[in-house]
């Protein structure tokens, strides 16, 4: 069973498929190819939130907070300013290493990024979690879909996302689209 299949079993996607993404255009606009597992995740779920906690960023979202391009631009500017007075995480000290956001945590300022190292293909990118309102970064040697699955099923080795596991075991995981959560888009 693939990671995506396991995620779909654990947390069913919306009944109506999300709008299609023009991946060639999205990658050209972003200036980089994107991991296959992320594209499959977006094609299955679209923009929205897992368990009222983890918001998936999607190219072309009608909501700036959920738009991959808008957030990549904003996060790059914020991190550039931040690293003028705060040390970069060790994973980013390698020349040419960079981060690309793919999700954020509701209400915390925390972001999930891909760690893109020189010479790596996007399917080799791993996950960096930044707590957002502090200097702590966590590296996870896995792709975004596997990390998301591990967080939801409680097997991720992380100091974060405890609130997802405070509910009784019988609680079903859920995904809500951005339109369901934020109101129908104006687009």
Question: What's the mean pLDDT when you consider all of the chain?
Answer: 88
> What is the tens place of the pLDDT at every residue in 154-170?
888 876 776 665 555 54
DSSP, residue by residue, the chain: --HHHHHHHHSPPPSSPPPP--HHHHHHHHTS---HHHHHHHHHH-SEEETTTEEEPBTT-SSGGGBHHHHHHHHHHHHHHHTTTSPPPGGG-STT-EEEEEEEETTT--EEEEEE-TT--GGG-EEEEE-SSSS-EEEESS-HHHHHHHHHHT----SS-GGGGSS-TTPPP-EEEHHHHH-S---
pTM score, whole prediction: 0.91
pLDDT, one tens digit per residue, over 99-152 is 999 999 988 888 999 999 999 999 999 999 998 777 889 999 999 999 999 988
């Amino acid at each position: 069973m693939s990671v995506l299949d396991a995620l779909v079993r654990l947390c069913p996607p919306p009944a109506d498929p999300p709008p299609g993404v023009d991946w060639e255009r999205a990658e050209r606009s972003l200036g980089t190819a994107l991991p296959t597992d992320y594209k499959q995740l977006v094609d299955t779920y679209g923009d929205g939130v897992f368990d009222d906690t983890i918001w998936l960023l999607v190219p072309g979202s009608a909501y700036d907070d959920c738009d991959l391009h808008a957030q990549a631009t904003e996060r790059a500017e914020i991190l550039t300013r931040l690293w003028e007075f705060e040390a970069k995480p060790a994973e980013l000290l390698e020349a040419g290493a960079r981060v690309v956001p793919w999700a954020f945590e509701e209400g915390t300022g925390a972001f999930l990024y891909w760690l893109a190292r020189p010479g790596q293909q996007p399917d080799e990118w791993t996950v960096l979690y930044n707590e957002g309102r502090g200097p702590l970064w966590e590296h996870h040697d896995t792709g975004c879909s596997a990390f998301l699955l591990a967080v939801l099923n409680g097997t991720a080795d992380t100091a974060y996302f405890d609130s997802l596991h405070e509910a009784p075991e019988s609680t079903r995981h859920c995904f809500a689209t951005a339109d369901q959560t934020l109101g129908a888009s104006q687009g």
